[in-house]
Structure 1
Amino acid sequence: MFVKEIMKKKVISLKKHNTIADALSLLHKHHIRHIPIVDDDQHLIGIVSDRDIRDASPSILDSEINQALLDHTIDQIMSSPVVTTHPDELFEEVANIFYEKEFACVPVVHQKKLIGMVTEKDLLYAFIQLTGTQGPSTRLEIRVPDRVGILSDVSTFFSKRNIKIVSVYTYPTPQQSGFKILVFRIQTMNPMNVIHDIKQSKEFEVVTPMREDNE
């Protein structure tokens, strides 16, 4: 899955000559947390967050100072340069940026122009799509040896029962080296027969009970 498949294409932006008051108004009106700052050619030159706005906003107890500070231009508080991504970047690579940098959003740039934004919510939705949790399915966790060809071997159990695999992913078992967990979502609401088949194998172990997600 690529960034261009999950990014928001309609991006609300400001120019550097806009004021802090302008940014504050957009944050409230559109219920957003970040505003990219662009030049006349849509080149990204900075970004401001709701935290930047709050830090720059003075106390409401002094109305004269309050208005004077809100009239300052946005370039005085924007962050620059900005970490960006490309529309053809892979979803998991951008997820690493969010994790390592502790970002809440990343602008998407193509040919130096701002064309989109990716937020934490977009990443979460992409994860839901990749794991197949958005539709009715049964989830099975199977402990398997960490060897070449293991996914093909386990998938055979489902194909023999004519069961469609909705999604599959894996995670390690730190407490048991040489093994890993395969997490399958399968399109059946009665997996007892395939569970029985897997349990007959001396090499694989079903480690979690099935769960029907439409309950």
Structure 2
Amino acid sequence: MSIVQIMTHRSKLVTTLADANLASLREVFAKARFQHVPVVEQTNRLVGIVSVKDYFRELSPVMDSASDPSIAVFMRSRKVHQVMITPVITLSENSTVKQAAALLLQHNISCLPVVDEHRHLLGLVSWKDILRAALGKSATGA
């Protein structure tokens, strides 16, 4: 099965820029319930990825000792490029679900961006997408 059949396509993803601040990610993680946000350039070229775990790992040292106003200042001053994971392990649109599963296990990660030959973001596949594919139609019906 092709990865394109199960991935979340670019049009449904929320992305961010490397120079965006962490405060801009707060709403994405809180309201959209995304676990990963791809980091792209203006041209849609993938340069990194930020997970909700990366976000909270960055905030955790200041959460215990800082006041709400100082946390807000911290979140506005820290940039996504200071937190994002790079380089990113990716898949091509010609990859299979089996190849994606093998990479997720090999690198102990939970998602893989799908990119074209110029590293332009096409979509994202997560371990949940792979499980849904393995379960077939019963994943949506149960």
Q: Give the structure-1-normalised TM-score.
A: 0.58
| Residue 62 of structure 1, aligned match among 46, 64, 67 | 67
Amino acid at match of 2:132: Y
Unaligned runs of 5+ in 1: 136-215
* Distance apart, 1:65 and its partner CA: 2.4
Identity %: 24
User: Is 1:5 the counterpart of 2:9 in the alignment?
Assistant: no
1 CA distance for matches of 2:54 and 2:74? 13
Amino acid at match of 2:110: A
Superposed CA offset, 1:22-77 (max 9, x none): 11211111101110100011000011111111111231651232012101211111
Runs of 4+ residues over 3 Å off in structure 1: none
Structure with the largest fraction of strand: 1
Indicate conservation of the 8 Å contact 1:7/1:117, yes or no: yes
Structure with the largest fraction of helix: 2
| Residue 39 of structure 1, aligned match among 20, 38, 41 | 41
Indicate conservation of the 8 Å contact 1:11/1:115, yes or no: no
Aligned residue for 2:21? 19
* Distance apart, 1:98 and its partner CA: 1.0
Aligned residue for 2:110? 104
- Secondary structure of the structure 2 residue equivalent to 1:106: strand
2 CA distance for matches of 1:99 and 1:73? 29
| Aligned pairs (5 A) from 1:145-164 | none
| Aligned pairs (5 A) from 1:71-90 | 71=76, 72-90=78-96
Amino acid at match of 1:67: A
How many residue pairs get aligned? The number is 132
1 CA distance for matches of 2:73 and 2:45? 29
Aligned residue for 1:93? 99
Larger Rg: 1
Q: Give the structure-2-normalised TM-score.
A: 0.87
Unaligned runs of 5+ in 2: none
Indicate conservation of the 8 Å contact 1:84/1:108, yes or no: yes
2 CA distance for matches of 1:25 and 1:56? 16
State the structure with bigger RCO (CA 8 A, min sep 6), 1 or 2: 2
Indicate conservation of the 8 Å contact 1:13/1:36, yes or no: yes
2 CA distance for matches of 1:19 and 1:25? 12
2 CA distance for matches of 1:51 and 1:91? 25
User: Is 1:53 the counterpart of 2:49 in the alignment?
Assistant: no
| Aligned pairs (5 A) from 1:146-185 | none
